[in-house]
Amino acid sequence: MSSLIGILGGMGPLATVDFITKIISQTPATRDQEHLPLLVHSVPQIPDRTACLLDNQESPLNALLQGLNTLINGGAGCIAIPCNTAHYWYEPLARASSVPILHIAQACAEALARDRITSVGLLATDGTLKAGFYPRHLAEFGISLKTPDTALQKRVMEGIYLVKSGAVEQGGRVLDACMGEMLQQGVERVILGCTEIPFALAHIGSPHARLGMDATKALAAACIRWHGTRQMPVAA
C-alpha cells in the first residue's frame, strides 16, 4: 500500500493549511526527503456541513466522495479529513474507500487517554455537537464530556464564522472567551473540536491555549504514526 497521505480539505482553506503545517512541525525530519508525502484536495465549494445537519440544506456527501475518489485515484494510501463536522459522514466515506480513513475524534480521544485526562469540555460547531461522535469515542476511554449551554454555543458559532470570514483576530477573541468559560466548569482540558479554533487561538496568543486539546494536531500526529507503519526497515 502507498505511504502517500491524502488530505480531504477545503473545509475551510485556512484550516487545511494549518493542518499541513501541524504535520510538518510534528515530523522528526532533518531534511526535505524525511517529511511525509501528502496529496491535498482543497476544494472549498463543498456544501456547508452544519447547514446540512441543522437546516436540511444540500448534503456535502457527494462532494466528499468526489474528493475521496480523487485522492485514492492519485495514489493515496490513507485519508485524513481536517474538518470535524465532516466526520458525520465518516461511515459512508469509509464504506466507499479502498484505503483507511483516520478519524479525528478517535485520534483526539487516544491522545487524551495517553495524558490520563478524564474530563473534558468541547468547543465545536452545532453540526459536530449534533453528530455526536465525540461522546462515543471519548466514552471508549472513560472520558467524561461537557458541552456548552445554548448561550455559550451561540458565541462559539459566532467566533467560528468570524474566522471563516477572514476576521481571524476578532474571532479568536470571541473563542478565547468561550474557552475560558468552559474551563470554569472544572474540566481538565477543552477539546478544540473545530479546525478554525486552534488556528484562531494561536493567532492571538491565547493564554488558555495550553489547556486545549487541539484535535487538528492530534489528527496530524495520527498521520505521522500511520506513515511510520508504512516504512520498511532498510536491509543490512
Q: Tell me, yes or no, whether 234 lies in a domain.
A: no
Q: Tell me, yes or no, whether 182 lies in a domain.
A: yes
Q: How many CB atoms lie within 10 A of CB 229?
A: 9
C-alpha 93/C-alpha 77 separation (Å) is 15
Are 175 and 99 contained in the same domain? no
Q: Tell me, yes or no, whether 236 lies in a domain.
A: no
Q: How many CB atoms lie within 10 A of CB 26?
A: 14
Are 129 and 154 contained in the same domain? yes
Q: Tell me, yes or no, whether 75 lies in a domain.
A: yes
Are 119 and 203 contained in the same domain? yes
Q: Tell me, yes or no, whether 235 lies in a domain.
A: no
Q: From the candidates 83, 108, 178, 223, which is the catalytic residue?
A: 83
Sign, Cα dihedral of 27, 103, 14, 40: positive
pLDDT at position 215 is 94
pLDDT at position 1 is 66
Are 152 and 62 contained in the same domain? no
Q: What is the mean pLDDT, run by run of 10 residues, along the chain of 236 residues?
A: 92 92 96 96 95 94 98 97 95 97 97 97 94 96 97 97 94 97 96 92 93 96 93 45
Are 110 and 207 contained in the same domain? yes
Give residue 56's identity as a one-letter amino acid code: N
- Strand locations in 94-206, DSSP E? 119-123, 144-146, 189-192
C-alpha 19/C-alpha 173 separation (Å) is 21
pLDDT at position 235 is 39
pLDDT at position 63 is 97
pTM of the predicted model as reported, rounded to 2 decimal places: 0.91
pLDDT at position 12 is 87
Are 134 and 117 contained in the same domain? yes
Which three-class secondary structure state does DSSP give residue 1?
A: coil
Q: From the candidates 52, 108, 194, 223, which is the catalytic residue?
A: 194
CATH number, domain with residue 120? 3.40.50.1860
Are 61 and 16 contained in the same domain? yes
Sheet holding 38-42, edge to edge: 38-42, 5-9, 78-80
Cα distances (angstroms) measured from residue 46 to each of 8, 84, 112, 146? 11, 14, 30, 30
Q: How many CB atoms lie within 10 A of CB 66?
A: 14
Are 188 and 210 contained in the same domain? yes
Q: Tell me, yes or no, whether 195 lies in a domain.
A: yes
Number of structural domains the chain divides into: 2
Are 46 and 142 contained in the same domain? no
Paired with 122 in beta bridges are 191
C-alpha 46/C-alpha 180 separation (Å) is 32
Q: Tell me, yes or no, whether 40 lies in a domain.
A: yes
pLDDT at position 231 is 63
Q: Tell me, yes or no, whether 155 lies in a domain.
A: yes
pLDDT in tens, 131-172: 999 999 999 999 999 999 999 999 999 999 999 899 999 999
The domain in which residue 142 lies consists of 105-215
Are 52 and 71 contained in the same domain? yes
Active-site residue flag, 83: yes
Are 144 and 189 contained in the same domain? yes
Are 164 and 134 contained in the same domain? yes
